[in-house]
Amino acid sequence: MMEACATVASVSATKRIAVIAGDGIGKEVIPQAVKAMEAAGAAVELTSFDWGADRYLAGKVTVPSGAFAALARDFDAILVGAFGDPRVPSNIHAKEILLGMRCQMDLFANVRPVRLMDASLCPLKGIEPKDLDFVVIRENTEGVYGDIGGIFKQGTPDEVAIQEDVNTRKGVERIIRYAFEYCATNRKIEGSARRSVLMSDKSNAMTHAGGLWQRVFKEVAAEYPQIETQHMYVDALCMQMVRDPRGFDVIVTNNMFGDIITDLAAGLQGGLGMAASGNLRPEKTSMFEPVHGSAPPIAGKNIANPFGAILTAAMMLGHLGMAGEAQKIETAVLEAVRQKKTTADIGGKLGTREAGEWVAERVSSS
């Protein structure tokens, strides 16, 4: 598979991590995430893979044969940077690698925490860190991302484009149940319990898919009487997130709506450069990636914010049972934000490497 190994901690490391930096700024921010894990003394063994545009352009191979089965068999988690390169206009490599992992490894729960570290990062007036601590749980293997549909009479005035939105009972039920279980077993950063699950759809227009989500949500909710429930159409949810995001706790939605509202949510916490996410399958190998993309216009300029990747690494460590190491990293990032030891997008003057090194040094001294 054309791989190179690097070990963090000792030969007695208990967790094996596949690292795929990918394209663009992924190659810059993932090394900073690795530095933070190294500084925290995380007991992990890292194996780096060169999947991405460079490899695809060299040999027209997107994913080596049997790669996903090997990831699921040989690793405890996967840390990914970003995919997308203008030299590959179709982005076929990005689709086959990223969507391939999500679907072929059945990583059905996309979990994106939305946490405000400092009031200065939020564009809304009067929002404090205590006001913004919710999570969006997005169905990750169905919806419109299956690329089911087609074009008829292409290039003519009568052209027709059809894109199918696939929602199965199994897929809808397990992501809704995951959201309720997450609410029941996870607490807010400040320690208070999570109390509510909000399901968002567009069932007034998408009556068939939305109807399925509505029915399943009510059925699953009945099994969790201690958890408050709410429903909002996705357009109303977007308006409320901008108007006043206080009060949100756990939001569950479909693949496309989750993709859209988490970008909006990232804007509330300081931008895409601050947003972490995990693609999870409980008790199985899961994949973690920052929310931002490969950002070709700023790639290679040492200006990309590494904190999304660093916080993603912390999220991964927490998922793997290393809560102490994860907390060290999160605390160091918080201190960097407060002291403006950051990249320019969130008010600092440091480059990607320098911001990452500052966090690693703070982790080491904690």
What is the DSSP secondary-structure string of 31-80?
Answer: HHHHHHHHHTT--EEEEEE--SHHHHHHHS-SS-TTHHHHHHHH-SEEEE
What is the DSSP secondary-structure string of 19-33?
Answer: EEEESTTHHHHHHHH
Residues classed as catalytic: 145, 202, 235, 259, 263
Cα gap 359→274, rounded to integer Å: 14
Task: State the pairing for strand pair 278-280/109-115.
Answer: antiparallel
Give the CA count within 13 Å in the CB-facing half-sphere of 158. 2
What is the DSSP secondary-structure string of 224-281?
Answer: -TTSEEEEEEHHHHHHHHHH--TT--EEEE-HHHHHHHHHHHHHHTT-GGG---EEE-
CA distances in angstroms from 119 to 132, 162, 258, 270, listed in the order given: 10, 44, 24, 9
Residue 356 buriedness (CB in 10 A; 0-12 / 13-18 / 19+): buried
